Amino acid sequence: MTTLTQALDAWVPAAARRLDGVRAEPRFEFVGRIVSVGDGIARVSGLPETRADELLLFPGGVAGLAVDLDGEIGCILLGEDRHLSAGAPVHGTGAVVRVPVGDALMGRVLDPLGQPLDEGAPVAAERFEPVERPAPSIADRAAVTEPLLTGTAIIDALFPLGRGQRELLIGDRAVGKTSIAVDAILNQRDGDVFCVYAAIGQKASGVREVIEAVRRGGALGRTLFVVAPADAPPGLQWLAPYTAFTMAEHFRDSGRHALVIVDDLTKHAAVHRQLSLLLRRPPGREAYPGDVFCLHSRLLERAAKLSPARGGGSLTALPIAETQAGNLSAYIPTNLISITDGQVYLDAKLFHEGQKPAVDVGRSVSRVGGKAQPPELRALAEPLRLQYAQFLELEVFTRFGGMVDEKTRAAVAHGQRMRALLAQRHSNPQPLALQVAQLTALSDGTLDRLPVEAVPRFRSALAALLETRPDPDLKALMREAAAGLGGS
């Protein structure tokens, strides 16, 4: 008993000294209750001061985003809901969702809340920015005139992409959309463009393949991955593209250049539809809510080329969308086509015929055009699209086996070499010098003297020669590459 008394006598003065240093102040805490929860959404009551897009805290550290404020608060949960139940307390924060930004994020794999998924060190953020940010105003923008080369010859030549542009990659499932996006990332490995890849609802194995392809291509240090796979909560999948844009805007707003790839917005729209129906919002066409156009327009409008007064940085967007049986007139594809500055359409029939990349020249377009194309490439590419379209029509005509004159036969032969030249393997982006050399060989008739099957070998020989000649004479290189392949 004496020992206990002595211990209490020693503890009480020490506790009193600790309490003396604490300033007791009143603090307001807003606490509500869960009314119902399930399938990634929750309904909350008792928080009348909650604002739109406010972050709410649920038991177990699960966050929620307040999106409906009509009576009961409708929340999108940004975590698992299996441990939540009706009656549990919910705390208002008065804050919005913010994610880390900064150069230190390059090379990392993060979830849409900025938490690492790559088992690396904790994220070193320069600061935290809200995921919902307004797009730059018209006065803060400049014209899109600087090229952003994707390394895919048919796109850089016929549908050039400019810094600050929004170009849609669209086509059926498994026709090479992600492959073109990965090649665009690899083509920036030695440049000044930082890349952000957002995976929405993709299989974990597919995301892993993309990360490994970027790693093998040597572009991992200039790429950030925001991943919300198919087994992630719907709220995280919904948040992923906004997080990716916020992280990329760090580079744009500091006068640098960034490329955002969103793979894909069709799945994002499906998640939005799912959450909206669970929140009992009125459905519209194809059961999508009425705000589905605003959902993507407010996202893609954040891609821009800033004026010199704002630093001259740029944010380029390459969103991906999936069609069903090539139907470009479906609801989400038509929405995205109307929002973006052009589209590259990949045709499943061309893909299965072995034409890769399977770009449909007739249904693809870039509304920026040659304004954002390197001059040396623009001069060679101007006649290409018309020639290629004419070749496709003539080829169909000649398949009927009718009599064709010499001029038509020559046009078809030239087109076959053009198609062989524009074919390209995945993870093999072509530098500008090689693209210019190839198109020069096409325009001056060098390829017309080669068999069609020799065109890939000619391109490989030309690429090898270009690597060893710092200031090449293109005509001499073409003669050397054609030697031994059947050309004169």
Lowest mean pLDDT among 190-204, 329-343, 393-407, 471-485: 471-485
Strands 89-92 and 31-38: antiparallel
Please state, in angstroms and rounded to a whole number, the distance separating the CA atoms of residues 177 and 174: 7
In whole angstroms, give the CA distance from residue 135 to residue 472: 44
430-440: b (≥16 Cβ within 10 Å) or e: beebbbbbbbb
pLDDT-derived band of residue 485, with 50, 70 and 90 as boundaries?
A: low
**Strand, coil or helix: what is 100?**
strand
pLDDT above 60 (res 19):
no
How far apart are the C-alpha atoms of 298 and 198, rounded to whole Å? 17
Q: Are residues 109 and 173 in the same domain?
A: yes
pTM for the whole thing?
0.90
**Is residue 13 a part of any domain in this protein?**
no
In this structure, are 37 and 179 located in the same domain? no
Across 337-352, average pLDDT: 94
Scan for tokens 């050309």, then name that residue. 487
Could you report the per-residue pLDDT of 165-203, keeping only the tens digit for each? 999 999 999 999 999 999 999 999 989 999 999 999 999
> Catalytic residue at 367?
yes
CATH number, domain containing residue 159: 3.40.50.300
C-alpha separations of 84 from 63, 225, 231, 280, 473 in Å: 11, 30, 18, 20, 70
Mean pLDDT of the chain, nearest integer:
89
% of the chain residues with pLDDT over 70: 91
> CA–CA separation, 34 vs 56, rounded Å?
11
Within this chain, do residues 358 and 398 fall inside the same structural domain, yes or no?
A: no
Q: Is the pLDDT of residue 385 over 90?
A: no
Average pLDDT value for residue range 114-141: 92
Q: What is the mean pLDDT of residues 455-475?
A: 80
Note the helical H segments in 356-429. 375-381, 384-398, 406-422
- Give percent helix, percent strand, percent coil of the chain, each to the nearest 5: 40, 20, 40
pLDDT above 80 for 18: no
CATH of residue 468's domain is 1.20.150.20
**Tokens 């549908």 identify what position?**
159
Can you give the pLDDT at residue 103? Answer: 94
* CA nearest neighbour of 415 among 436, 377, 385: 385
Query: What phi and psi, each to the nearest 5 degrees, are found at residue 67?
Result: -120, -25
Distance CA 394, CA 390 (A): 6
Q: Is 279 exposed, middle or buried (0-12, 13-18, 19+ CB in 10 A)?
A: middle
Active-site position among 298, 367, 385, 457: 367
348 shares its domain with 390: no
Verify that 63 and 165 share a domain, yes or no. no
Pairing of the two strands 168-171 and 193-200: unpaired
Q: Where among 372, 395, 420 does a domain terminate?
A: 372
Same structural domain for residues 387 and 364? no
The CA radius of gyration of the chain, in Å to the nearest whole number, is: 28
Domain extent, residue 141, equals 98-119+126-372
Same domain, residue pair 256 and 131: yes
Q: Does the residue 15 lie in any domain? A: no
Q: Is 433 part of a structural domain of the chain?
A: yes
- Which segment of 52-61, 369-378, 474-483 scores lowest on mean pLDDT? 474-483
Question: pLDDT digits over 28-57, tens only?
Answer: 778 999 999 999 999 999 998 899 999 999
Q: What is the pLDDT of residue 203?
A: 93
User: Quick one: pLDDT at residue 15?
Assistant: 53
What's the Cα-to-Cα distance from 324 to each of 142, 171, 179, rounded to whole Å? 36, 8, 19
Range of 15-29, 338-352, 369-383 with top mean pLDDT: 338-352
Would 5 be classed as within a structural domain?
no
Same structural domain, 275 and 363: yes
Shared-domain flag, residues 73 and 102: no
Rounded to an integer, what distance in angstroms lies between the CA atom of residue 289 and that of residue 185?
Answer: 34
DSSP state of 488: -
Asked if residue 232 belongs to a domain, the reply is yes
Residue 411: predicted pLDDT: 87
487 lies in some domain: no
Number of domains in the chain: 3
Domain of residue 81, CATH code: 2.40.30.20
387 and 333: one domain? no
Peptide bond just before 357 cis, omega within 30 deg: yes
Which of 315, 348, 372 terminates a domain? The answer is 372
Answer with the one of 92, 111, 143 that is the final residue of a domain.
92
Tokens 């740029």 identify what position?
Answer: 314
Residue 8's pLDDT is what? 43
How many CA atoms lie within 13 Å of 52's alpha carbon, on the beta-carbon side? 3
At residue 470, the pLDDT reads: 66
Residue 217 lies in a domain: yes
Q: Are residues 365 and 410 in the same domain?
A: no
Q: Is the pLDDT of residue 7 over 50?
A: no
Note whether 400 and 336 are same-domain residues. no
Distance CA 132, CA 51 (A): 14
H or E stretch covering 437:
helix 432-443
**Inside any domain, residue 11:** no
Beta strands in 276-326 (DSSP E): 314-322
Q: How far is CA 117 from CA 110, 371, 436, in A?
A: 5, 40, 41
